[in-house]
Amino acid sequence: MSRKTRVGLVGLGFGAEFLPIYQQHPDAELAAICQRDEKALNRTGDAFNVDRRYTAFNQMLKDPEIDAIHINTPIPDHAAMTIAGLKAGKHVACTVPMATTLEECAQIVQAANESGLNYMMMETVVFSREFLFAKELQRAGELGKLQFLRGSHLQDMSGWPGYWEGLPPMHYATHAISPLLAMAESHAESVICVGSGKISEDLAKKYGSRFAVESAFVKLAGSDVSAEITRSLFETSRQYVESFSVYGSEMSFEWGQTQDDEPVLFQGEEGKRTSIPDYAHLLPEEIRSFTMQGVYDAGNEHLSFKQGNGHGGSHPHLVHEFIRSIQERRRPAIDHVTAANWTSVGLCAHESALREGQRIEIPDYASL
């Protein structure tokens, strides 16, 4: 494409983190913003000098001046908004997870296939500096043969919006599984999962899910490597962590125990803490600063940004990949088929836990 990609941003809580990145990306134009609360919409529009504003998503989709939309709305809205966006002729980026059911994942894959437009799931971990560092080690051959992969996402969701209350842990599992599948350069074929502990009845009745923790083993296609993931959302004491560890025959990378800990590199039985470099040099100069800072000041950080420690500097990398995939007329790194597989790992894992550890096959979305 010769001109800039014009983006409409939907949802301005966490979504506001992306506003200045689109405004400063050399190949993008922030064309419009959308939020149901008109007062909040106008505050954000005034703060970022965005003139075109919508309180209704369907009205934004009718705007011919918008090429792509970026969805940052509550999880239950992701699938319907994504499908509507693709059918309206817009490229779509959407925060995680892709959808809440296997049927919705299949519908999005079909909509993307039929439209020929780009869909990208904006999964932060695989663009974090920690992942980029581990992937660099792998590409240089320093890890040797991959032997085992482990991911965990432990978080206390108390006080978050009501739809989070009692959510099955594995229904929000992409932060834990995505770096493992991306390191293995494979997709998940099946999963076995068990639940552990119990949450309060008030929480459990919301989704019919009683487990405090869910742990799964994932079978990877065409690989002898196994991946393990663990998730918790309520009533389990632990500092917030989105982590992954990679065990190789020559070197292993293991996430630190706390947010202040540096990761550890192991060679044989010897381990040493290592500092992780920033990867802003991979980005256009105009947006490099956003790997180290967000929109919100220190006294008013969005909770997801604060708990996630800035999501590893991933936000400008996500924007750059989405925009460049459109400009270059290619699929993005986390396309519709990949996103459906990553999201379905968690959906199938929870079903396995409900069936006391029965192996559940993951749909083959590439064949749709």
CA distance 302 to 289: 18
CATH 3.30.565.10 fits 5-123+315-332, yes or no: no
Chain-wide mean pLDDT for the chain?
94
Domain spans, the chain: 5-123+315-332, 125-281+345-367
Assign 3-class secondary structure to 26-57. Answer: CCEEEEEEECCCHHHHHHHHHHHCCCCEECCH
Q: 178: burial class by Cβ within 10 Å (0-12, 13-18, 19+)?
A: buried
Question: Among 80-84, 153-157, 300-304, 335-339, where is mean pLDDT lowest?
Answer: 300-304
Q: Please report, rounded to a whole number, the percentage of residues in the chain having pLDDT higher than 90.
A: 91
318-340 per-position pLDDT tens digit = 999 999 999 999 999 999 999 99
90-135 per-position pLDDT tens digit = 999 999 999 999 999 999 999 999 999 999 999 999 999 999 999 9
Tell whether the model's pLDDT for residue 217 goes beyond 90: yes
Q: In the prediction, which pLDDT does 308 show? A: 42
CA distance 294 to 314: 11
Q: In the prediction, which pLDDT does 128 show? A: 96
Residue 233, φ and ψ in degrees, nearest 5 = -130, -25
Q: In the prediction, which pLDDT does 262 show? A: 95
Amino acid at 1: M
Q: HSE on the CB side for 105, CA within 13 Å?
A: 26
Q: What top-level class would CATH report for the domain 125-281+345-367? A: alpha beta
276-307 per-position pLDDT tens digit = 999 999 999 999 999 987 664 444 444 554 44
Asked whether 154 and 232 are in contact (CB, 8 A), the reply is yes
Return the closest-CA partner of residue 348 out of 221, 191, 194: 191
